Amino acid sequence: VDAALVSAVGAEHVLTDPDLRAAAEVDWTGRWRGACRAVVRPGSTEEVAAVLRICADAGVPVVPQGGNTGLVGGSVPVGVPGAVVLSTRRLDALAPVDATGTVVAGAGATLAAVQRHARAAGWAFGLDWAARDSATVGGAVATNAGGLRVLRWGPARAQLVGAEAVLASGAVLSRVDGPVKDSTGYDLSGLLCGSEGTLGVLTRVRLRLVPPLPAERAVALVGVDGVPAATGLLAAARRALPGLAAAELVGAAALALALRLGLPAPLDAEWPAYVLLETAGAGALDDLTAALAEAPGVGDAVLAGDAADRARLWRYREEVTPAISAAGVPIKLDISVPADALPAAWEALPATVSALAPGAQVVLFGHLAESNLHVNMLSVPADREPAVVEAVLRLVAGAGGSISAEHGIGRAKARWLGLTRSAAELAAMRAVKAALDPAGLLNPGVLLAGS
Ligand SMILES: Cc1cc2nc3c(=O)[nH]c(=O)nc-3n(C[C@H](O)[C@H](O)[C@H](O)COP(=O)(O)OP(=O)(O)OC[C@H]3O[C@@H](n4cnc5c(N)ncnc54)[C@H](O)[C@@H]3O)c2cc1C
C-alpha cells in the first residue's frame, strides 16, 4: 500500500515518520490521540481519487483531515488501526470570483484565505470564527460549521452552491461548474455537507459570497444579570439594529478564564453573563449607543467604534476557547435549544454536571442568536465522563434541542446521535452510508457509531 501511495502522490507527500505524523494524530484539544500508518497529502482531485482507490483495494480505512481544528474527534485516527490520514491541505487553489459572486475553492483553502480572496474581489465570505487561519472550507462544509456570522449569513450549508468530492471507490462527483440554479434530482453536494468525512472526500467547493459588511461598525460588550436579560437585549437589538451582525454570549466563568490570558477586566463590576453585539452601517456607533440606552437588561456596557477597539472587545469572546484549553483538557459539547428554553438550560447545565461530578468546572459561552451554547467541562474525573456527557445531552434532548449545533457529531457524540435523530432518520443515514461507502472505510467510528 505504502509503495502504491508513494507512486500516486510522490514520496514527499506520504509521511510515515512518527515525528512527521504526530501533529495529524492528535486533535486541537489534545483529547483525541491516535495513530496512523501514514499521512498522505494529495495535490489534486485525481490524486485523491488514486489514493482512495488504493485504500479501497487494500481495505485500508481513510480519515479525511483539513485544518485539524475540529472539536469532536472526527479528524484524527483514533481507534482505526492501520488508517491513512488524507490531508487536504495542498488542495488550496482559489479560482477567480465569478460575476455572480461565487468562487470555487480547494477544500484545503483556509477560511482566512477565502476571506482575503473574496475581499480582493469586492465580496466577503460569510463564514468566520477564531480558527480562521487553520480551519479549511472543506472542513467547514464537512461539519456544516457555523461561527460568528450565522446571525447574518447562515451556516456553511447556506454558503454552499455545489461540491466536488471523491467517493470511497475513487469515483468523482463534481457539481462546482455551471449555473447556480439546478433542479436535477438529489442534492449530492448538500448531502456531503455535514457528512464529516464519512461519505466522501471533498476536494473543491463552490461558495456563495456575500456583500461586504459596511466598514463603519460598532461593537458593544454588555454586562447582564442573567440569560433572560441577554435574550431580552437581543430581541430589542434585532428590532432596533437592521445592521446587527453578531450576538455572542459569554458566561462569567468563561470571561474569568479569558482574563487569565492577560486581558484587562472589561467593565468595572463582574456580571453573571456578557453579551457582545456588533452592528454595521452608517452611524453604527450612534445607533448601537441609542439601542443600548433603550434596551432592557443592560447592566453596564463598553462600546467601540474604531477597528482596533472593536478587535479588543472581540478578544473577550474569541480568547475563551484558547483560555479553556490553557486551563486543562476540557470535555466539549456544542448544543442548541429552542430560544425560549435557553434561560432554563443555562441554569440547569451546571447543576446537572455538579450532581455527577461535584468538583467539575462548567464554562458556558456561545452564539446567542441561535441559542447555541458551547458547554465546556474541566476537571471531570475520567470515570464520570460518560455519565456527565449523557446527562447533559439528555437534558438538551429533553428541552427539544440539538446535541450538536455546529461542531458535528464526530467520535465524541456518535453513540448519542439517537437522542435527537429518530430511528427512521438513522436508518436512512445508514442506508446512504452503505450505498456510498459499502466497506465502511471512510472515517469509521465517526457520526454513525460502528460505521
Ligand atoms: C479556536 C476555535 C474556535 C472555533 N470556533 C468555531 C465556531 O465558532 N463555529 C464552528 O462551527 N466551529 C468552530 N470551531 C471548530 C472547527 O474550526 C470547525 O469544526 C471547522 O469546520 C473544522 O475545519 P477543519 O478544516 O479544521 O476540519 P478538521 O478538523 O480537519 O475536520 C473536521 C471534520 O471534517 C472532516 N473533513 C475535513 N475536511 C474534509 C474534506 N475535505 N472532505 C471530507 N471531510 C472532511 C474530518 O474528517 C472531520 O470529521 C472552532 C475551533 C477552534 C479551534
In this structure, are residues 28 and 68 in contact, taking their beta carbons and an 8 Å threshold? yes
pLDDT band at 44 (very low <50, low <70, confident <90, very high): very high
The yes-or-no verdict on residue 450 having pLDDT over 70 is: no
User: Which of 69, 133, 321, 325, when mutated, tests ligand 1's pocket best, judged by the most ligand atoms within 8 Å of its CB?
Assistant: 69
Beta bridge partners of residue 38, listed in sequence order: 84
Give the pLDDT confidence of 314-349 residue by residue, as tens digits.
Answer: 999 999 999 999 999 999 999 999 999 999 999 999
- Whole-number mean pLDDT of the chain? 97
Give me the percent of the chain exceeding a pLDDT of 70: 100
**Main-chain dihedrals φ then ψ at residue 244, nearest 5 degrees:** -55, 125
* Mean per-residue pLDDT, 259-273: 96
CA dist 4 and 11 (Å) reads 10
Give the pLDDT confidence of 237-256 residue by residue, as tens digits.
Answer: 999 999 999 999 999 999 99
Give the pLDDT confidence of 13-33 residue by residue, as tens digits.
Answer: 999 999 999 999 999 989 999
- Alpha-carbon torsion (30, 366, 72, 15), positive or negative: negative
The yes-or-no verdict on residue 451 having pLDDT over 70 is: no
| Closest listed residue to residue 63, CA positions, set 44, 49, 77 | 77
CA dist 395 and 391 (Å) reads 6
Give the pLDDT confidence of 99-143 residue by residue, as tens digits.
Answer: 999 999 999 999 999 999 999 999 999 999 999 999 999 999 999
User: Which of 143, 160, 334, when mutated, tests ligand 1's pocket best, judged by the most ligand atoms within 8 Å of its CB?
Assistant: 143
* Mean per-residue pLDDT, 298-325: 97
Residue with C-alpha cell 484587562?
Answer: 264
Which three cell numbers mark 346?
443555562
User: Which of 129, 325, 332, when mutated, tests ligand 1's pocket best, judged by the most ligand atoms within 8 Å of its CB?
Assistant: 129
- Residues with Cβ within 6 A of ligand 1? 28, 63-71, 74-75, 88, 107, 129-131, 135-136, 138-140, 142-143, 145-147, 196-197, 201-202, 321, 406-407, 410, 443, 446
Residues 6+ apart with CB under 8 A from 181: none
**Main-chain dihedrals φ then ψ at residue 294, nearest 5 degrees:** -90, -30
| Closest listed residue to residue 86, CA positions, set 152, 21, 183, 151 | 21
Whole-model pTM: value is 0.95
| Closest listed residue to residue 74, CA positions, set 427, 417, 317, 392 | 417
Give the pLDDT confidence of 187-220 residue by residue, as tens digits.
Answer: 999 999 999 999 999 999 999 999 999 999 999 9
Hey, whose CA ends up nearest to atom 21 of ligand 1? 140
Give the pLDDT confidence of 50-72 residue by residue, as tens digits.
Answer: 999 999 999 999 999 999 999 99
Q: Quote the ligand 1 centre to 137 CA distance (angstroms).
A: 8
pLDDT band at 408 (very low <50, low <70, confident <90, very high): very high
Q: Quote the ligand 1 centre to 69 CA distance (angstroms).
A: 5
**pLDDT at residue number 449:** 82
**Main-chain dihedrals φ then ψ at residue 48, nearest 5 degrees:** -60, -45
Q: Quote the ligand 1 centre to 407 CA distance (angstroms).
A: 7
Task: Ligand 1, residue 65: give the atom nearest the CA.
Answer: 30
Which three cell numbers mark 81?
488501526
